[in-house]
Amino acid sequence: MMTGLQEAFYIVALVYMGVSLLLIIGLVVAVGVIRKKVVDLEKTITDKIDFLISIPAKIESVIGGIKSLTKHGSK
């Protein structure tokens, strides 16, 4: 049979373990959510950079098309 002091320590230990478990679960969920947001932000930035990099290539292809039209038109 447990004394009052033993029972009190047992209850405190159970509460401590329960709160610790909830904190660990909360931290794991928070890290997962933050990671997802960072990955989404990285994808958005990469897409915008790829779009900006592709603009000169598009302009070059238009200029090339105009040059080829003017060469064929002058012959």
Neighbours of 68 (CB within 10 A): 10
Unique residue bearing structure tokens 């909830």: 22
Query: Quick one: which H or E segment has residue 2?
Result: none
**pLDDT tens for residues 33-54?**
999 999 999 999 999 999 999 8
Alpha-carbon distance 30 to 38, whole Å?
A: 12
pTM, entire model: 0.61
**pLDDT tens for residues 1-13?**
778 999 999 999 9
Q: Where are the domains of the chain?
A: 30-75
